[in-house]
Structure 1
């Protein structure tokens, strides 16, 4: 039966991957799990003697903080202690194997919930039907000699399982995988068929380590859901308006809120998407601020460079002007010397003629 269930689930799993829609969001997940269970009680002071269980359930994933769950579990618990010291027992009961069927309802309390990862605490309340058997696979309920005189063996009990787990979703198909660790917390001390002969401090319990696969069971269109909520709100406002219960100022404010594009956009987004959008906007602002600072720095450097170039150019121009002046001065001095030499030459020639 379990094998057939796994085959059906596998086919359903493949179908969900094939026909997954990007725009739709998962409303309810189907959860199929396998767990390793360790017994602790009168025949074992610590969690040991591991056994297995199969779990199938469903939970809503539509809300941020709280999500209801339901699950059905089928499995067994095993314990043995050949040296167990009974309180005047008529017959030793050192081994048991208890088959159980359990149905639970719970609530997931999400500590972390993003588009991909959810970390949660999952308290439950449920009912368990169990059947302890001995090493020969005989029902211990039919063996009154294994218990105190007049003591009967109950076969049903309330359970309060508490689990801590995490779930990772794959983006394309919304299929997910997860793991949980928790305690069964049965409200019965007869899982091992030891009641009055047992110790009051060694109450029966089971540690569960569970691995799960999740497939989308139902989906919903986020945009369609938003429009539906808006229509519902409009109908309510219309009714209040007809009854005269909606004040004019309140009506204006609500209309303003409805027609503000920013608020409409926010309604379309989930809390995680809003958070990501804010982070993106902040990053864009920081990027823009850095770009502006970089542009200012470049502009400043450019101005300083131009100023430096202008200064160098002015100094070069001054040096050239100075050189030109010096050259002009030297030229004048040369011309002056030349004129003086010519004048002296003329004077000498004039003296020669006289003599």
Structure 2
């Protein structure tokens, strides 16, 4: 009889602990996320597709059912090459535009996430953000292209900072302890045409852009 009572007490204690544990995990209000991205540049020197990487860290809020904020900080590289790149110019002497570039970049942005699906272990979302990106295109010898005016049209200069409006679609899978992993795909949507140092001499009227496919780990903080 005493053994049976002990077993009932242990069972009740375990059930109570499980209930409290689950309730605590359901109230997670913030995650730290750390991950990497595979990037693909789109612009005047796109040529053959090249893939680069970046690293990011951020804070994802989880206070609302549908709309939550997200802060991202990241850094990485983009590059492109088109050895058949041609241009039209009446300038004398003719400019010598670069046909290769490698850009190191750093960015910080804020996203607003809309949860299409939100369950205890699964979140599917779309997001729209706004932020700043700093970039530094270089040629194949490591020279800063912004400092080489002969690679652009006459008197063409640019800033190496730009606004960006990143758009993403993603999914977050959460374990019972609220640790998780995520996969996200989207575009940086920069508001500059100079990630590759080419603008006026290029054929494209659109800004340079980059596709990023991101994988991240989520760690609950609150």
Q: Same fold (TM over 0.5)?
A: yes
Contact residue 64 and residue 110 of structure 1 kept, 8 A: yes
How many aligned positions are there?
196
Report the Cα offset of residue 80 of structure 1.
0.3
Q: Which runs of 5+ in 2 are unaligned?
A: 1-20
Deviation at 1:45, TM superposition (A): 6.0
Which has the larger share of strand? 2
In the TM superposition, what is the alpha-carbon distance from 1:67 to its structure 2 partner? 0.5
Give the SS at the match of 2:112: strand
The alignment's C-alpha RMSD in Å is 1.4
Structure 1 partner of 2:73: 72
What does residue 184 of structure 1 align with?
Answer: 188
CA distance 1:209–1:166, shift in 2 (3 Å): same
**2:124 maps to which residue?**
119
Match of 1:193 among 184, 197, 210: 197
**Counterpart residue number, 1:12:** none
Is contact 1:98-1:192 (8 Å) kept?
A: yes
- Tell me which of 23, 27, 30 is aligned to 1:28: 30
Report Cα offsets for 1:202-239 as digits up to 9, x if no partner: 53110110001000122xxxxxxxxxxxxxxxxxxxxx
Equivalent residue number for residue 110 of structure 1: 115
C-alpha displacement of 1:50: 0.5
Any conservation in 2 of the 1:119–1:165 contact (CA below 8 Å)?
yes
Displacement of 1:62 in angstroms is 2.0
Q: Name 2:59's counterpart in structure 1.
A: 58
RCO comparison, higher one (Cα < 8 Å, 6+): 2
Using the alignment, how far apart are the partners of 2:179 and 2:160 within structure 1?
37
CA contact (8 A) 1:45 1:202 kept: no
Runs of 4+ aligned residues of structure 1 deviating over 4 Å after TM superposition are none
Whole-angstrom distance in 2 between the partners of 1:217 and 1:108: 18
Runs (5+) with no aligned partner, structure 1: 1-20, 219-355
What is the CA-CA distance between 1:59 and the residue it aligns to? 1.4
* Contact persistence 1:96–1:132 (CA under 8 A): yes
For normalisation by structure 2, the TM-score amounts to 0.85
Whose helix fraction is larger, Structure 1's or Structure 2's?
Answer: 1
